[in-house]
Amino acid sequence: MKYDCIVIGGGVVGAAVLDRLAAYNLKVLLLEKEDDVASFTTRANSGIVHAGYDCEPGTLKARFNVRGNELIWRDARELNVPHLKCGSIVVARKEQLEKLRELQDRAVVNGVETRILDRDQTLKIEPNVADEIEYSLYAPSAGIVSPYQLAIAYADRAILKGGEILLEAEVKAVSRKNGTYFVETSKGVFESAIVVNCAGAYGARVNDMAGAEHFETVYRRGDYFVLDNTERKNVNTVIFPLPTAAGKGILVAPTADGNVIYGPTAVDSANPDDTATTPDSLDVLRKNVPLSYKRPAFNKCIRVYGGLRTLIGHDFVVGESKVLDNFFMAIGICSPGLTSAPAIAEYIEALIVERTKATVKQSGIVAPPRRKRLAEISEDELDALIAKDSAWGRIVCRCEKVTEAEIVEAIYSPLPATTVDAVKRRTRAGMGRCQGGFCGPKVMEIIARELGIPLDQVRKGGGATIARYAVKEVE
């Protein structure tokens, strides 16, 4: 099959690129090795829309962060992705004021609005900073977004515009003959004039496969605690410590879905698949969170997780390969990669449009499915929905109050959710305090029914099934 452009990798970067390219008269395909988009780093990060004050001036990071911060709010709004421009503060003790000033100087160069607040002003915004905190650097343009829902929404909209996504299609080799790329995957060979490498942790490997520039990659894992949504009332903004060479440090932040997170740590790793949390790393969080936040509630933890940063040198690698033409790269996209994704996509779009002279399709504007949560639906609207489809009245996930109708809708999305985890990322069924203990079997049943498969073929995500061996006879 022949395409104009193939995107490798369905993280937030690849999905954003596909969404933009699908608006043109181009035949575009995204290849993703996992069984859903947003299955790797995009599903395990802090979900912060960074303001952009701390990036080294002049880097791609600074440029795309600041531009991304402008674009991401509009995208999130258009795509109905949970988000909140809640602002962020970097907190400092008395003797650290000078460091805050340095940070503010960077903000000025990067064109980011910030203010230094004293303790009283800080407390007005964030009453629960630690007692030792005397100053903070407030950035009103920062906020939070659901990272996986953003990537999923880009993917859905791309498909509605005519883009294609193939899941469980791992790219194994890339070759080129007479100006055409042959992309070999576990699901066959695809031809394309252009390739965009957005393969995240495997970005450097895909470059090697194709014979593009070789890069050394460093991996750095970060672990988190997720807190019960009853903690949300205690945190208003994103609370950072002062950044260090290792990164932005351990933050306390609300999530766009109404929980709170503590994290991440920074643990070097040699393994591009390493997302397993470790007891030591979780202990680092237990020790450090109280330094900036005075109401840590580790006993309200509902989940721990780890995500992997992929670093190539000190900056993002974005642009066309110098050794392979029509081979574009958006790799080494570590933090602030989520924030930057819409800007990176905009940049890649411009390069490819310029190269192909593609024109915008004349189809109407497409909006992805509106995923309304029960709490957002008015009483009258809900009654009308139930009258049409009684599944709107059947709550499946009791912690997050997700109805059967929402689960069915997720299964029939433009990019269908076919696993328990995929349904969870789209609907939140199983993300609450019981972690699917009650609704897991029910979600499995609905997936089995809608896909017409037996229960023992329903997968959690990552390929593994849950119900495995039929009981001889159920009494």
Partner 1 sequence: MRNMDFDVAVIGGGPAGMAAALAARKQGATVVILERDSRLGGILNQCIHQGFGLHYFGEEMTGPEYADRFRKMVEKEDIAVMLESMALALGEDKTVTALSPSLGLCKIKARSVVLAMGCRERTAGAIALAGSRPAGIYTAGMAQKICNIDGYLVGKDVVILGSGDIGLIMARRMTTEGANVKLVLELAPYSSGLKRNIVQCLDDYGIPLKYSHTVTRVEGYPRLTGLYYAPVGEDKKPILSEERFISCDTLLLSVGLIPENDLLNGLGVNISPVTQGAVVDENRMTSMEGVFSCGNVLHVHDLVDNVSQEAEIAGAAAARYALDGGVCKGDFVNVVARDGVRYALPQRISRGEGKLRLFFRVGDVYKNCRLIVQSGENTLVSKKFMVLAPGEMGSADIDISLVDGDVVVRLEK
Ligand X SMILES: Cc1cc2nc3c(=O)[nH]c(=O)nc-3n(C[C@H](O)[C@H](O)[C@H](O)COP(=O)(O)OP(=O)(O)OC[C@H]3O[C@@H](n4cnc5c(N)ncnc54)[C@H](O)[C@@H]3O)c2cc1C
| Side-by-side strand order, sheet with 143-145 | 48-49, 143-145, 83-84
Closest distance of CB 41 from partner 1, Å: 14
Applying CB under 8 A, among 298, 313, 359, 388 the residue interacting with partner 1 is 298
Comparing CB distances to ligand X, the nearer of 55 and 352 is 55
164 or 168: CB nearest partner 1: 168
The only residue of 151, 226, 239, 329 in contact with partner 1, by rule CB under 8 A: 226
Binding site for ligand X (CB under 6 A): 8-14, 31-34, 39-42, 45-48, 50, 170-171, 198-202, 206, 222, 264, 307-309, 333-339
- How far apart are alpha carbons 67 and 151 in whole angstroms? 18
- What part of residues 22-41 is at the interface with partner 1 (CB under 8 A)? none
Distances in Å between the alpha carbon of 278 and those of 143, 285, 287?
28, 11, 15
Host H or E run for residue 184: strand 180-185
| Binding partner of residue 402 among ligand X, partner 1, none, CB cut-off 5 to 8 Å per kind | none
Which parts of 255-393 are beta strand (E)?
260-263, 267-269, 301-311, 317-320, 327-331
In the complex, the smallest distance separating the C-beta of residue 239 from ligand X, rounded to whole angstroms, is 13
Number of chain residues interacting with partner 1 (CB under 8 A): 62
41 vs 88: CA distance, rounded Å = 22
Query: What are the beta bridge partners of residue 360?
Result: 24
**Residue 272 token pair:** 């591009």
- Continuous segment of H or E residues that includes residue 143: strand 143-145
**The entry of partner 1, ligand X, none that residue 308 binds, CB within 5 to 8 Å by partner kind:** ligand X
Q: In Å, what is the CA distance from 416 to each residue of 37, 154, 454?
A: 11, 14, 18
Whole-angstrom distance, CA of residue 63 vs CA of residue 110 = 8
How far apart CA 104 and CA 347 sit, in angstroms, is: 27
Contact 195, 59 (CB under 8 A): no
Amino acid identity, position 242: L
Residue partners of 354: CB distance under 8 A and separation at least 6 = none
DSSP helix/strand/coil, 181: strand
Task: List active site positions.
Answer: 50
Q: Which does 423 bind (CB under 5 to 8 A by kind): partner 1, ligand X, none?
A: none
State the binding partner of 468 from ligand X, partner 1, none, CB within 5 to 8 A by kind: partner 1
Q: Between 57 and 247, whose beta carbon lies closer to ligand X?
A: 247
Residue 9 contact partner, candidates partner 1, ligand X, none, CB within 5 to 8 A by sort of partner: ligand X
Binding to partner 1 by residue 337, rule CB under 8 A?
no
Instruction: Select the binding partner of residue 338 from partner 1, ligand X, none (C-beta < 5 to 8 A, by kind).
Output: ligand X
Going by the DSSP 8-state scheme, the letter that residue 231 receives in this structure is: G
Binding mask 206-225 for partner 1 (x = CB under 8 A): -------------------x
Nearer to ligand X, 24 or 202 (CB): 202
From 53-61, 311-319, 331-339, 383-391, span contacting partner 1 (CB under 8 A): 383-391
Residue 406 CB coordination number (10 Å): 25
Shortest Å distance, C-beta 301 to partner 1: 5
Tell me the C-alpha distance between 115 and 120, whole Å. Answer: 14
Q: Which is nearer to ligand X, 159 or 206 (CB)?
A: 206
- Tell me, what amino acid is at 293? Y
Q: Which of 192, 197, 237, 275 binds partner 1 (CB under 8 A)?
A: 275
Q: Which residues bind partner 1 (CB under 8 A)?
A: 225-226, 230, 273, 275-279, 281-282, 298, 301-305, 379-380, 382-383, 386-387, 390-395, 398-399, 401, 403-404, 433-438, 440-441, 444-445, 455-456, 459-472, 474-475
